[in-house]
Chains A and B, each alone.
Chain A
């Protein structure tokens, strides 16, 4: 029972971590490009309320399709990556982030794989939080455009 609770709690922590990463990434791109939420709604052909919902705490109905549409509207191509994590790393997600306070140099994000990936390789996205890495690996779609 305790394991089930811990697993549920960790799942919620993983969910929220990903949601705030995505919201922050979209916000960052919009600021970079000077795009307002109203502009984004128009480009995505959705209502302004839908955009508000997308950035809300609840973040309900934020589908992969909507994310793809948002990235397209922002002239970006999202790139997905995955990094496996071990069961030990998942033991207590909440506690691990707290532990980082005392040994931050040695603690990796829970979704980072420490054994299989060469952490010294600078091109490896696992050198930091995978989601934080999204900001650097996203590719401007504009470069693939064919001139009219």
Chain B
């Protein structure tokens, strides 16, 4: 886990999970402990998928869900990295932050009992996204 290296990530209180070229996946610092508590294979799988995402490769529906619905306030598309074996989704959104294509992980659904997303957690994730977009916009760090 690497601390944020630019101001925009500091504002967001995020750590970089994976980075390749002009793309990166960052995670909210409050979620780092949760991510590190996952079993090694899950972390390995998720980080490998994140690396592919950074490289702009095609991801299968088992790896990534590009459409988890839009947020109410800012109409941002919520997306998720998936680990089906342990029924885990890492929710976040993609934007250009600090000049880099950035996927920001803000929430997770670790106790998913079925393939359908938990509507309460989805709603919470979307609220987190809207809140963060507010912060980034007020700081002038969000493009696109």
> Which residues of chain A have C-beta atoms less than 8 A from B62's C-beta?
23, 55-57
> Is the CB of B45 closer than 8 A to any CB of chain A?
yes
> Which residues of chain B have C-beta atoms less than 8 A from A28's C-beta?
57-58
Q: CB-defined interface of B18-60 with A at 8 Å, one 1/0 digit per residue?
A: 1111001000000000000000110111011101100101111
What's the minimum C-beta distance from A5 to chain B, rounded to whole angstroms? Answer: 9
Q: CB-defined interface of A17-47 with B at 8 Å, one 1/0 digit per residue?
A: 1011101100110010000000000000000
CB < 8 Å: which of A24, A55, A56, A102 contacts B5? Answer: A102
Across the interface, name the chain A residue whose C-beta is closest to B52: A24
Contact check, B60 vs A27: say whether CB atoms are below 8 A apart: yes
Across the interface, name the chain A residue whose C-beta is closest to B50: A97
* A7-15, A76-84, A113-121, A140-148 - interface stretch: A7-15
Q: CB-defined interface of B44-84 with A at 8 Å, one 1/0 digit per residue?
A: 11011101100101111011000000000000000000011
> Is the CB of A58 closer than 8 A to any CB of chain B?
yes
CB < 8 Å: which of B19, B21, B48 contacts A20? Answer: B48
Chain B: residues with Cβ within 8 Å of the partner, total of: 30
Contact check, A100 vs B19: say whether CB atoms are below 8 A apart: yes
Contact check, A129 vs B47: say whether CB atoms are below 8 A apart: no
Interface of B (DSSP majority class): mixed
> Is the CB of B2 closer than 8 A to any CB of chain A?
yes
Cα-based distance from A121 to B84 in the complex (angstroms): 40
Chain A: residues with Cβ within 8 Å of the partner, total of: 30
Contact check, B52 vs A21: say whether CB atoms are below 8 A apart: yes
Contact check, A24 vs B59: say whether CB atoms are below 8 A apart: yes
Contact check, B48 vs A98: say whether CB atoms are below 8 A apart: no
- Contact flag A57-B58 (CB < 8 Å), given A17-B51, A97-B47, A104-B19: no
Cα-based distance from A12 to B51 in the complex (angstroms): 16
Contact check, B57 vs A101: say whether CB atoms are below 8 A apart: no
Contact check, B58 vs A98: say whether CB atoms are below 8 A apart: no
CB < 8 Å: which of A8, A97, A98, A104 contacts B21? Answer: A104
Contact check, A9 vs B40: say whether CB atoms are below 8 A apart: yes
> Is the CB of B117 closer than 8 A to any CB of chain A?
no
CB < 8 Å: which of B17, B40, B63 contacts A98? Answer: B17
Residues in chain A within 8 A of chain B (CB atoms): 8-9, 12-13, 15-17, 19-21, 23-24, 27-28, 31, 55-58, 94, 97-102, 104, 129, 132, 135
**Listed A/B pairs (22) with beta-carbon separation below 8 Å:** A9-B40, A13-B40, A13-B48, A15-B44, A17-B44, A20-B49, A20-B63, A23-B60, A24-B52, A24-B58, A24-B60, A27-B60, A28-B58, A55-B60, A57-B45, A94-B43, A94-B44, A97-B47, A98-B16, A100-B20, A101-B17, A101-B24
